[in-house]
Structures are given as structure tokens and as C-alpha cells.
């Protein structure tokens, strides 16, 4: 898929135009296009072939023809011309999250800095703070951006890598003589970011497996080509290690390569206490193999029940397993609804029918359609009259739809003083009110926290959306006291969202666990702006599982009726 490549070029065009001081609307159009293309789960080439590019939000005739140009030529004339006007070094600075084109240009022109290392030093020596329009805050932001950039180079969001891993598994099952096959490592644990793809297989013919593997169409470079281990780099620059293991070692290898390393070390220590050696080849007493064919054997050898991969981080799961108090994790199949989807009414692209169709295909029985509120003009926020129209349309839809029900919701902006973006009498009409912060990210912690707390205390609010505002690899969480937020939610019987969009996963795993422990209910929403993004729901479930959530902790496991009852209960009705 060329989606990322196209998005990247558009994003760079936007930055270059910004450096040149071009028309802000034009710049915004490229940025928005980049965002929406990146968020697509469909193959953009496929859309282009079917002449469906205009289905992507923000893509008109002009941008559609530019997308086609990129797909046909690999680049864009406009981009190449802009690059000639602007120095290369400056382009590199634009990769740093949080460092905008204007500031990058001033730094480049006044200090003559040309490398990221020099820029880092200049920040630490407070040379940046002295430049016009900048200060110590700018230096902090740049340093944070450099840190994020370095992390980003090594790790990618799970939601980007998981489909690649799944595609490879399908390919290997079809083209290689594999018997067992599993993706291990951080992907199996569903960690939010991933360094590489670890695949294990058993086979009677390892040689053919490796031949098929290196012939995988996504392979860019073969790094190691062996009988038991082969490593390649696939298209977006991700390494894949494929290991063929003996069936009698399968369970031991699966446990070992699933990790985490910290968890493995604990298991190995427990083994040592029992006079056992546990490694990727099996479980041994002296030279005698006593197990390793099945993964459960690794755990039972040290008197533990099998531990779900999402918990294997040495965050107390070993102790919990020993004491028989492992959570019975919420299952991917327990999920009945998606609690946060945007429609055509605001900045989404889907009609109510399209949303319901996708939900049905995903095996869901309800979806909350939560569009933006009136003040959020950039995101097509709904006026009160549009909101009431939508309410009617949803009621009408529900009258004729049996299998999938829609819930009339709104993602209501929390204004900078903590008040909400609709008056109370309007909020009372909305069945699910999710409050969210979309502005003022730079406010001090006390103020941001106060806004979230005030919203959660509001009697008509049900939940807080994407509580920290972070974007993986792009934007740090804003300064917010999560403990205060969790406590307020707990005291007021309100839910916190796990936003399942692959760049958000917000709450994250650790915050989710804190919320669960405080008795706060979790509400998972994909925040889909196009129906394809509804497919990200399992990523949110993965976060819930990594946060030790059980079925009853997660409101999405409720039936439509039960969920509606909960919505009413929150408002004391």
C-alpha cells in the first residue's frame, strides 16, 4: 500500500508551503489530506483505480489528480519544485514533531544549524530561547520532539504493523509448507508500538519455507537467509525474523519469543528455584527434556496457569497467577458495540446506513454516533438544529433497523474554562455525551486537569474521550493529572474512553489499569471518521486487556439495552 508514501509527500508539501509563507488554506488542505490518507485502511491505489479518491475526506478534484500523479510517477512535480527552493537541512528539521516550519526556518537562518545533533546542543545551551518569538518552552518542545523522533525511528504503532504481520501469515499459510504458525514478540502481547515482527513456524521442510519467505512480495532486502532463521526487511522498513522450530520445542519457543524479556526472566528464575532450565528449546531437568511442546507446559512447570500474552510484562501477572487471581480478561468476542464514530453530520464521511452496515460486518449490534459539537468549526461541529435533525434521523433509522442499533451521541468540546459546548437543555437531549478537550493543549496542568474534572462532574456527561490527547510518535500527552481524572470519574460513576484509533490508544494500558482498579468503567471507541477505521476496535480491546480489564469493566460488552440502561443510570434516571 502506498498510502503512507502519498501522505508523507502531502505533509512535506504543506510544510514547504508554510516555510514559503503560502496561503494558510492551501497549507491546511494538504495537511488535512495527508492526515486522512494516512488514516485510510483501504489501499489508495485501489481507490484510485476505482475512481473513488473523492471518498477520502478533504480530497477534491485537484488533490485527487495529485494523488494519481504520485501513484504514477512516485513523486509530485509541485513537491520537487518546492524542494529546489528550500535547503535540504531545513527539510530534515521538519521531521521533528512539534517544531513548526516557521521556527525551523528562523533557527536555520540565524544560527546556521544543519544537523539534529547541533540543534539538540543549541537547545541545551539555551541558544534557541534567545531567538525572536522563542523561549525556554520552545527549547523544551524541540528536545521533546527530538526524543519522539528518535523513538519513532525505532518503533511503529501496532496498528500499522499488525496488518502487515497478518498479511504475511496469510501468505505463508498459502505458499509455504508450514504446520503451526504464530506471530510472537510485542505484537502478540499487543504492545502499542512494535520494533519488528517475530514469526515462528513448524515445518517438515524448513528449506521451502525460507524460500517462500524471501520471495514474499513485500520483501525489500534479505538480511540473513538460514535454515532455522531468516531475517528480511519488508516494505515500510520493518524487519521480520522467521524461525522454524522443532514441534517438540514449539511451546517453549512461543513463550520465549513472545516475551516480554522481563517476564521471561521471572519464569526462568522460578524454573531455577525448582531445579529446571527453561529456554527457547524446552524445559529441562538436567539433560532430560520434560516439556516444551505446548506453551502451557512452560507455565505449569513452574506451577502457574497459562498467562495471556497481553499480561506478560512483569507487572504483577506472575504473582497474580501464583495466587490464583489472574483477571478473566475481556475477550475480543465479548464486544458488542463501538462507542465513538463520526458521521457525515460532522467531519466523518459515512452515512448512518454505512456505519450500521460496517458494524454488522464486524459483528457489532450497536454504534454510538458521536459527532463534534457546535464550537469545533474546523471539524464540522453540529449546530443545535443540525443536532436535532440527526436525532430524528437516528430514531428513524432505529425504527427500521433490527440487527444494528445506533445511539444518538455527541463528542462535546470542553471549552477552555471547563464548560461544555452545548447548553444543558441540549445536552439532556443527547443520549450519550462524551466530553473531549480539543483546544488549549499548552495550558498548565492545573487548568487542563480542572477542565477534564469539571466535565466529568457535569451531571449530563457520560465519559471523557481520549483523556491525554497524545498521538503515538507525534504528540506527547498534554499535562494532565490522570490520577485526579480517574478519581473524579470513579466518584461520579463516569467512564473513561480508550480511544482505539491506532495513533491514539488513549487511555494507554497503564492508565487503563489504574482506572479499572479505581472502579471506573471503560468505554472503547474507534473515533472512526471513515467506516474503515471502525476496524481498529480490537486495538482498543487489546489496551483494555493489557490494562487487566474483565468483561464487566468494559461497557462495550453490554448489549444495546444494557448500555442504554447504563446511560440512563449515569444521569440518575
Q: Give backbone dihedrals phi and psi of 5, rounded to 5 degrees, phi first.
A: -65, -45
State the Rg of the chain over Cα: 25
HSE (side-chain half, CA atoms, 13 Å) at 426: 17
Report the partner that residue 374 touches, choosing among ligand DGT, Ca ion, none (CB closer than 5 to 8 A by kind): none
Tell me, by CB under 5 A, how many residues bind Ca ion.
4
Which position among 251, 259, 309, 467 is part of the footprint of ligand DGT (CB under 6 A)?
259
Tell me, by CB under 6 A, how many residues bind ligand DGT.
13
- Minimum CB separation from ligand DGT for residue 341, in Å? 30
Residue 414 DSSP code:
B
Nearer to Ca ion, 52 or 279 (CB): 279
Q: Which of 182, 249, 172 is nearest to 211 (CA)?
A: 172
Q: Which of 427, 490, 414, 485 is nearest to 455 (CA)?
A: 414
- Residue position matching grid coordinates 457520560: 462
Task: Return the range that interacts with Ca ion (CB under 5 A); candidates 79-87, 140-148, 197-205, 381-389.
Answer: 197-205
- Minimum CB separation from Ca ion for residue 7, in Å? 25
**Under a CB-based contact definition with an 8 Å cutoff, are residues 537 and 557 in contact?**
no
* Site map 156..185 versus ligand DGT, x via CB under 6 A: -----------------------------x
- Residue position matching grid coordinates 487471581: 325
Nearer to ligand DGT, 127 or 156 (CB): 156
Nearer to ligand DGT, 195 or 289 (CB): 195
- Minimum CB separation from Ca ion for residue 279, in Å? 18
With binding defined as CB under 5 A, does residue 198 bind Ca ion?
A: yes
Q: Which of 278, 272, 262, 265 is nearest to 314 (CA)?
A: 262
- Minimum CB separation from ligand DGT for residue 125, in Å? 33
- Minimum CB separation from ligand DGT for residue 297, in Å? 17
- Minimum CB separation from ligand DGT for residue 510, in Å? 17
- C-alpha separations of 38 from 6, 50, 157 in Å: 8, 19, 13
Task: Return the range that interacts with ligand DGT (CB under 6 A); candidates 51-59, 205-213, 255-263, 298-306.
Answer: 255-263
- Minimum CB separation from Ca ion for residue 155, in Å? 10
- Minimum CB separation from ligand DGT for residue 280, in Å? 8
- Minimum CB separation from ligand DGT for residue 1, in Å? 22
| CA distance linking residue 440 with residue 437, whole number of Å | 8
Report the partner that residue 378 touches, choosing among ligand DGT, Ca ion, none (CB closer than 5 to 8 A by kind): none
DSSP strands (E only) in 461-513: 463-464, 495-499
Nearer to ligand DGT, 2 or 189 (CB): 189
Which position among 30, 257, 478, 563 is part of the footprint of ligand DGT (CB under 6 A)?
257
Q: What angle do CA 284, 287, 293 make, to 5 degrees?
A: 40
CB atoms within 10 A of CB 237: 10
* Long-range CB contacts (within 8 A, 24+) of 51-58: 55/349, 55/530, 56/349, 56/530, 57/32, 57/347, 57/348, 57/349, 57/529, 57/530, 58/29, 58/32, 58/33
Report the partner that residue 259 touches, choosing among ligand DGT, Ca ion, none (CB closer than 5 to 8 A by kind): ligand DGT
Nearer to ligand DGT, 268 or 457 (CB): 268
What is the spatial order of strands in the sheet that 288-291 belongs to?
277-279, 282-285, 288-291
Nearer to ligand DGT, 160 or 497 (CB): 160
Task: Return the range that interacts with Ca ion (CB under 5 A); candidates 31-39, 180-188, 214-222, 520-528.
Answer: 180-188
- Minimum CB separation from ligand DGT for residue 301, in Å? 15
Three cell numbers, residue 22: 503560502
With binding defined as CB under 5 A, does residue 196 bind Ca ion?
A: yes
Nearer to ligand DGT, 180 or 261 (CB): 261
| CA distance linking residue 202 with residue 271, whole number of Å | 25
Task: Return the range that interacts with ligand DGT (CB under 6 A); candidates 54-62, 256-264, 476-484, 507-515.
Answer: 256-264
Q: Under rule CB under 6 A, which residues in 180-219 are in contact with ligand DGT?
A: 185-186, 194-196, 198
With binding defined as CB under 5 A, does residue 185 bind Ca ion?
A: yes
| CA distance linking residue 504 with residue 511, whole number of Å | 13
| CA distance linking residue 337 with residue 564, whole number of Å | 12
* Site map 402..441 versus ligand DGT, x via CB under 6 A: ----------------------------------------
| CA distance linking residue 319 with residue 298, whole number of Å | 16
Query: At how many degrees (to 10) do helices 3-20 and 24-38 cross?
Result: 160
Three cell numbers, residue 212: 517462500
| CA distance linking residue 26 with residue 15, whole number of Å | 11
Three cell numbers, residue 519: 472502579
- Minimum CB separation from ligand DGT for residue 269, in Å? 10
Q: Under rule CB under 6 A, which residues in 526-565 are in contact with ligand DGT?
A: none
* Site map 260..289 versus ligand DGT, x via CB under 6 A: xx--xx------------------------
Report the partner that residue 260 touches, choosing among Ca ion, ligand DGT, none (CB closer than 5 to 8 A by kind): ligand DGT
- Minimum CB separation from ligand DGT for residue 302, in Å? 14
**Under a CB-based contact definition with an 8 Å cutoff, are residues 273 and 314 in contact?**
no
- Measured from each CB, the residue nearest to ligand DGT is 259
- C-alpha separations of 75 from 80, 96, 431 in Å: 8, 22, 47
- Minimum CB separation from Ca ion for residue 124, in Å? 33
Query: At how many degrees (to 10) do helices 509-517 and 537-546 cross?
Result: 60
> Which residues contribute to the site for Ca ion (CB under 5 A)?
185-186, 196, 198
> Which residues contribute to the site for ligand DGT (CB under 6 A)?
185-186, 194-196, 198, 256-257, 259-261, 264-265
Amino acid at each position: 500500500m502506498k498510502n503512507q508514501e502519498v501522505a508523507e509527500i502531502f505533509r512535506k508539501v504543506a510544510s514547504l508551503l508554510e516555510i514559503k509563507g503560502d496561503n494558510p488554506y492551501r497549507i491546511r488542505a494538504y495537511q488535512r489530506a495527508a492526515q486522512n490518507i494516512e488514516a485510510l485502511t483501504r489501499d489508495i491505489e485501489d481507490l484510485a483505480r476505482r475512481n473513488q479518491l473523492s471518498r477520502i475526506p478533504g480530497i477534491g478534484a485537484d488533490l485527487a489528480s495529485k494523488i494519481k500523479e504520485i501513484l504514477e510517477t512516485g513523486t509530485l512535480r509541485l513537491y520537487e519544485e518546492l524542494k529546489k527552493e528550500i535547503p535540504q537541512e531545513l527539510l530534515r528539521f521538519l521531521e521533528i514533531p512539534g517544531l513548526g516550519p516557521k521556527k525551523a526556518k528562523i533557527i536555520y537562518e540565524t544560527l546556521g544549524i544543519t544537523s539534529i545533533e547541533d540543534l539538540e546542543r543549541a537547545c541545551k545551551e539555551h541558544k534557541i530561547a534567545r531567538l525572536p518569538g522563542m523561549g525556554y518552552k520552545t527549547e523544551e518542545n524541540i528536545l521533546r520532539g527530538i526524543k519522539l523522533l528518535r523513538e519513532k525511528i525505532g518503533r511503529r504503532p501496532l496498528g500499522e504493523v499488525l496488518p502487515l504481520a497478518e498479511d504475511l501469515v496469510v501468505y505463508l499459510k498459502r505458499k509455504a509448507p508450514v504446520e503451526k504458525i504464530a506471530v510472537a514478540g510485542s505484537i502478540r502481547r499487543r504492545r502499542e508500538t512494535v520494533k519488528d515482527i517475530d514469526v515462528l513456524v513448524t515445518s517438515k521442510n524448513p528449506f521451502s519455507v525460507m524460500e517462500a519467505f524471501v520471495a514474499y512480495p513485500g520483501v525489500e532486502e534479505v538480511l540473513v537467509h538460514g535454515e532455522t532463521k531468516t531475517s528480511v526487511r519488508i516494505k515500510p522498513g520493518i524487519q521480520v525474523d522467521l524461525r522454524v522450530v522443532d514441534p517438540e520445542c514449539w511451546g517453549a519457543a512461543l513463550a520465549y519469543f513472545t516475551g516480554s524479556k522481563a517476564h521471561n526472566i521471572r519464569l526462568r528464575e522460578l524454573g531455577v528455584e525448582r531445579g529446571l532450565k527453561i529456554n527457547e528449546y524446552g524445559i529441562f531437568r538436567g539433560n532430560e527434556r520434560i516439556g516444551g511442546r505446548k506453551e502451557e507446559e512452560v507455565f505449569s512447570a513452574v506451577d502457574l496457569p497459562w498467562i495471556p500474552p497481553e499480561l506478560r510484562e512483569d507487572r504483577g501477572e506472575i504473582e497474580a497467577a501464583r495466587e490464583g487471581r489472574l483477571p478473566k480478561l475481556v475477550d475480543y468476542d465479548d464486544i458488542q458495540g463501538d462507542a465513538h464514530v463520526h458521521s457525515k453530520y460532522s467531519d466523518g464521511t459515512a452515512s448512518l446506513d454505512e456505519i450500521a452496515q460496517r458494524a454488522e460486518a464486524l459483528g457489532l449490534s450497536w454504534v454510538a454516533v458521536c459527532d463534534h459539537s457546535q464550537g469545533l468549526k474546523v471539524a464540522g461541529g453540529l449546530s443545535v438544529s443540525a443536532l436535532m435533525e440527526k436525532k430524528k434521523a437516528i430514531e428513524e433509522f432505529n425504527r427500521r433497523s433490527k440487527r444494528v442499533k445506533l445511539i444518538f451521541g455527541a463528542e462535546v468540546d470542553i471549552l477552555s474554562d471547563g464548560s461544555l459546548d452545548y447548553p444543558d437543555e441540549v445536552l439532556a437531549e443527547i443520549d450519550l455525551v462524551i466530553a473531549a478537550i480539543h483546544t488549549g493543549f499548552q495550558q498548565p496542568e492545573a487548568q487542563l486537569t480542572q477542565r477534564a474534572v469539571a466535565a466529568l462532574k457535569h451531571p449530563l456527561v457520560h465519559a471523557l474521550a481520549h483523556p491525554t490527547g497524545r498521538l503515538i510518535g507525534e504528540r506527547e500527552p498534554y499535562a494532565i493529572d490522570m490520577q485526579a481524572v480517574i478519581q473524579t470519574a470513579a466518584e461520579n460513576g463516569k467512564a473513561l474512553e480508550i480511544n482505539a484509533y491506532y495513533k491514539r490508544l488513549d487511555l494507554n494500558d497503564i492508565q487503563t489499569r489504574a482506572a479499572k482498579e479505581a472502579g471506573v468503567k471503560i468505554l472503547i471507541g474507534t473515533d472512526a471518521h471513515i467506516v474503515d477505521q471502525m476496524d481498529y476496535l480490537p486495538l482498543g480491546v487489546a489496551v483494555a486487556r493489557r490494562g487487566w480489564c474483565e468483561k464487566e469493566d468494559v461497557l462495550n460488552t453490554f448489549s444495546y439495552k444494557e448500555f442504554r440502561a447504563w446511560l440512563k443510570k449515569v444521569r440518575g434516571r
